[in-house]
Structure 1
Amino acid sequence: MSLLPTLRQLELLLSIAEAGSIASAGSKIGMTPSATSHALRSLESTLGTILVDRSASTVELTQAGERILPHVRDAFAALNLVKTTANANAGLQGGVLGVGSFGPSSSLNLLPPLLAAFGLRHPAIEVRVAEKSDSEIELDIIERRVEIGFVTLPKPQFDTLALAVDELVAVLPAQHFLASNETIELSDLTTLPLILTHAGSQELILRMFARAELQPHFAHEMTQLLSILEFVARGQGVSINASLALPTSYAGVVYRKIRPRTARQVGLACLNAKRLSPAASAFWQLARSSKR
């Protein structure tokens, strides 16, 4: 009977795929350089193929290595599912749940109440949130780094759960002449110095102007939401942001609806809602019951 790879060898391959060198990959999982080299040679011997291109300037997997990598991730995802299922039999008395969040729209308004409610129901489950861009969360779900993640919808490649509508709003200085209006015409914003966000809603904002065939005047481009709010409060321009990303209030700033209305859906995504771990399934069901 042919030998099978060991979990330690497969763990090394996962580490190599993410590391800058073979030695650092082994060190990351507690292996000495000699043990790392031996484990990699043994894995390649067992599988009968070269997995790592040692002639490349940086660590690169061969075509064979790239092709088996998703199956290795599946194997470890299955092991995690075994562990969390065992924990479920003890009433979800332990374990870790990884959740991806694409930015303030989910981290500021949607996540906190869900985390609080989940913590009350399952205090022994540790929830670890990773905040990244929408595209990075997609990749993390595909590569099993997290089981579920907050994303913008639609995402046809995943099982999804719509949770909220995130509308674009104008962010104005409190004393601005447009601040007395309940709704702002998009065309009125093209004559004002606009502070463009580098966050996830930037593409939606640009599409909004393109659909209306309007050309805005971008005075500043910023990554941090607090920087944008402070610039607006000090009269350095106006901005457009996703409503869920904004704090309830900010001194010197008001939010106003924009006509025509532009919005996106925000929700949860996973590879297969029917195969979630007990902890992830409990979080999913909690989110379903609290849809906004």
Structure 2
Amino acid sequence: MTSEQLRAFLEVARAGRLATAARGLGLSQSGLSRQLQSLEAALGTRLLVRTPGGTVLTDAGERFLPHAQRALDALTAGTSELERLSGTPHGVVSLGTLHTVGAYLLPDIIPAFARQFPEVRPRLSEGLAPAMEEGVARGALDLAILSLPVRRADLVAQRLWEESLVLAVPRGHRLTKSGKPVTMDEAVEEPWVVIPGMSGTRAMEAACEARGVTPRLAVETDNAEAMRRMVERGLGVAMVPQLMARDHHAQGFDVVPLARAGVKRQVALIHRGEGYLTAAARALKSFIVESVRAMPEPWGTRKAAPGARVR
């Protein structure tokens, strides 16, 4: 059996659906099914059964699950040791990111990384912080970039930057007329374009709850670019990080700062510890940290000091 087969089995066991697991692994459903079938053939037993409600583990699958996780962890640690000896980063690195980071920061970083480390292939996926934490803890992700706080005490987090959240509004929106920052009280009754679970969405929901107002949701999406384009088309407003709004003059929306210090998010890079990282993962981690540190800061209010860590 292979590490790819074990990773496929563990991801399906966690997600409960082939389609969800395939997206998390960056595979097609047919490719994922082949991995699972090969694993079951090697073991000589069924591990998973498809049902109308999703994919469930057989008794054999339940018994095999903890052994599969330990085996994958051992393979990862062994690979990391061998790569330390060779000193040449190569292979796939799985990196989970927040939607906005994947769309608005990594395109500035990954091409330069690929030029410097042509033998390393980053595999990117986007999601929400809780799911990415679990993915890193299980070994399905090598690294993840997410908002603090980190809920799991067994993960290492290196703070990358802190930034304010701002309102993205259609061009010429009434909230831009004064030219001054606005309070959340002035914005809560607007129609909203949201990504559920995003830090800006949580802040908007808290403000609405404080005022006793039910949020007017114009549309929900799971894609940062879709959210931006909905705002540009006048469907509603959105609370977004400054990272997403730094090039708004070249895009089709206006930005309104929030008064009273506003709302901020802290962004960190997390992993399970240096011992679990391959040479390729360590190279990508260091490259991201150094690239963020070297960038100008029109979008972030404070970046981490070198080596700053939180747990």
TM range (shorter): 0.7 to 0.9
The answer (yes or no) to whether the contact 1:84–1:279 under 8 Å persists in 2 is no
Residue 174 (structure 1) aligned to one of 163, 171, 184: 171
Whether 1:129 and 2:128 are equivalent positions in the alignment is no
SS at 1:282's partner residue?
A: helix
SS at 1:146's partner residue?
A: coil
Partners of 1:38 and 1:173 lie apart in 2 by: 57
Structure 1 residues 39 and 68, CA gap change in structure 2 (3 angstroms): closer
Whether 1:192 and 2:190 are equivalent positions in the alignment is yes
CA displacement, residues 189-215 of structure 1 (integer Å, 9 cap, x when unaligned): 1343333443623223312443x5352
Partner of 1:262: 263
Of 250-259 and 159-168, deviating more is 250-259
Whether 1:160 and 2:157 are equivalent positions in the alignment is yes
Partners of 2:65 and 2:278 lie apart in 1 by: 22
- Return the offset for 1:233: 3.4
Structure 1 residues 26 and 270, CA gap change in structure 2 (3 angstroms): closer
Task: State the AA in 2 paired with 1:29.
Answer: Q
Q: Give the percent of matched residue pairs that are identical in Structure 1 and Structure 2.
A: 22
CA displacement, residues 164-209 of structure 1 (integer Å, 9 cap, x when unaligned): 2242211123322321423112111134333344362322331244
The answer (yes or no) to whether the contact 1:187–1:214 under 8 Å persists in 2 is no
SS at 1:203's partner residue?
A: helix
How much is the aligned-residue C-alpha RMSD, in angstroms? 3.6
Structure 1 residues 79 and 204, CA gap change in structure 2 (3 angstroms): same
Partners of 2:5 and 2:281 lie apart in 1 by: 26
Q: Structure 2: 5+ residue runs without aligned partners?
A: 19-29, 294-302, 304-311
CA displacement, residues 105-150 of structure 1 (integer Å, 9 cap, x when unaligned): x212332333234324322111111222322212211221111111
Task: State the AA in 1 paired with 2:116.
Answer: R
Partners of 1:189 and 1:205 lie apart in 2 by: 9
- Return the offset for 1:26: 10
Partners of 1:226 and 1:275 lie apart in 2 by: 33
In the superposition, the TM-score normalised over structure 2's length comes to: 0.70
Partner of 2:283: 282
Structure 1 residues 134 and 270, CA gap change in structure 2 (3 angstroms): same
The answer (yes or no) to whether the contact 1:170–1:240 under 8 Å persists in 2 is yes
Partner of 1:28: 34
Task: State the AA in 2 paired with 1:69.
Answer: L
- Return the offset for 1:71: 4.1
Partners of 2:43 and 2:83 lie apart in 1 by: 31
Of 145-154 and 77-86, deviating more is 77-86
- Return the offset for 1:254: 0.8
Structure 1 residues 265 and 14, CA gap change in structure 2 (3 angstroms): closer
Partners of 1:284 and 1:141 lie apart in 2 by: 14
Task: State the AA in 2 paired with 1:28.
Answer: R
Task: State the AA in 2 paired with 1:215.
Answer: V
The answer (yes or no) to whether the contact 2:189–2:216 under 8 Å persists in 1 is no
Larger Rg: 1
Partner of 1:151: 146
Partner of 2:23: none
Structure 1 residues 230 and 95, CA gap change in structure 2 (3 angstroms): closer
Partners of 1:189 and 1:30 lie apart in 2 by: 49
Q: Structure 1: 5+ residue runs without aligned partners?
A: 1-6, 42-50
- Return the offset for 1:253: 1.4
Partners of 1:96 and 1:12 lie apart in 2 by: 15
Partner of 1:91: 87
- Return the offset for 1:227: 4.3
Partners of 2:270 and 2:135 lie apart in 1 by: 11
Structure 1 residues 168 and 208, CA gap change in structure 2 (3 angstroms): farther
- 1:102-251 to structure 2, matched below 5 A, reads 102-104=98-100, 106-157=101-152, 158-179=155-176, 180-198=178-196, 200-201=198-199, 202-210=201-209, 212-213=210-211, 215=213, 217-223=215-221, 224-246=223-245, 248-249=247-248, 251=251
For these two proteins, the number of residue pairs brought into alignment is 269
Partners of 1:15 and 1:81 lie apart in 2 by: 18
The answer (yes or no) to whether the contact 2:190–2:236 under 8 Å persists in 1 is yes
- Return the offset for 1:13: 6.5
Partners of 1:38 and 1:277 lie apart in 2 by: 27
